[in-house]
Structure 1
Amino acid sequence: MRYRYVGPAELRDQVVAVDAVAAIDTPASLDARLARRDRGDLVEPLTFVVALDGMLRLAPRRSEHVALAGGTDVLAAGEMTFASAETGWCVAEVTNQSTGYCPDPDSWPAVAGALDHVGVRHPGNFTDKVVFRRCPTCIERNIVRDDDFTCALCNSALPARWNFMTD
């Protein structure tokens, strides 16, 4: 499934160009991206997207997903924490936390495919799954917590199924 950007228009409108260095297509490119960090466990997660070509892109946590994606649709988005492993790097934690794209937890296969392509071990699924829903009444984005499908802004019922539009 493709995820279209659904966050604030002013963030999307600030996107200028995609950082080609952010693309991770080999273990060496991942190592180069993480080289500036301590080789021990990395405490701060990185922002990630899986582009439409299946390529993993990484940026510092405070980066906007839409900027990392160059303003385009993505196959997945969230945050990822890496740890040192005997043979390079592994993913310690990964989540679909992106309020700009609001990806469904069903986006995991795109993340796994991108990591498998680079040869990075991963936990096999999101370590923290975020459930996003758009309120049909006030149209706001919501994060569902504790299985409470109630809009945080207007108290309307949220749908049980993911309901953001895709192309």
Structure 2
Amino acid sequence: MAEPFTFVVDADGVLRLAPRRSEHVVCAGGEAVLSAGEMSFREEPGQWTVEEVSNQSTGYCPDVSSWPAVAKALDRIGIARPSGFTHEVVFRGCRSCRELNIVREEDFICVFCGEDLPRRWNVTERDR
């Protein structure tokens, strides 16, 4: 499998790809996005297929609920895809210390200060 690409789905629903070492915010031209992450492809007879796709983007920290935007963008250009993210990253902002956390194994505790993290995605909230 080749190295994955950085991807964003821009506000118009267009899929944009960049080399993996590119920042998501740069790939999006600094604009808001519907989703972001990493994506790899494989060639199958007569078509390209998404082999793996995640919402792993610390620039945008998209919620796992952003998958429909990715699916729609891929469907629009005729690329076969899985039914959802093959690797989901759960981002939460701590309301106490304001640090960004990646939740692992359903452990909604801030790794920086030990406070409970919200169950609902909150990365864009000003007060986290």
The TM-score bracket by the shorter chain reads over 0.9
CA-based RMSD: 0.9
Q: Identify the match of residue 83 of structure 2 among 124, 140, 144.
A: 124
CA distance in 2 between partners of 1:77 and 1:63 (Å) = 12
Q: Percent identity?
A: 60
The reply on whether 1:158 has 2:117 as its aligned counterpart is: yes
The Cα shift of 1:152 comes to 1.1
Query: Could you tell me which of 69, 78, 92 is aligned with 1:133?
Result: 92
Structure with more strand by fraction: 2
Q: Which of the numbers 3, 12, 17 marks the counterpart of 1:58?
A: 17
- After superposition, where does 1:1-167 map in structure 2 within 5 Å? 42-165=1-124
Structure with more relative contact order (C-alpha pairs < 8 Å, separation 6 or more): 1
**2:62 alignment partner, SS class:** coil
Q: Deviations over 1:59-95 (max 9, x none)?
A: 0101000000011100000000100111121000000
- Secondary structure, in 3 states, of the residue corresponding to 1:89? strand
Q: What number of residue pairs does the alignment pair up? A: 125
Find the aligned partners of 1:162 and 1:52 in 2 and give their Cα distance: 19
Secondary structure of the equivalent of 2:84? Answer: coil
Moved over 3 A (4+): none
Distance 1:94 1:51 in 2: 16
Distance across 1 between alignment mates of 2:108 and 2:66:
20
Query: Higher helix share goes to which structure?
Result: 1
User: Following the alignment from structure 1 to structure 2, what is the Cα–Cα distance between the partners of residues 151 and 51?
Assistant: 30
| TM superposition shift of 1:164 | 2.0
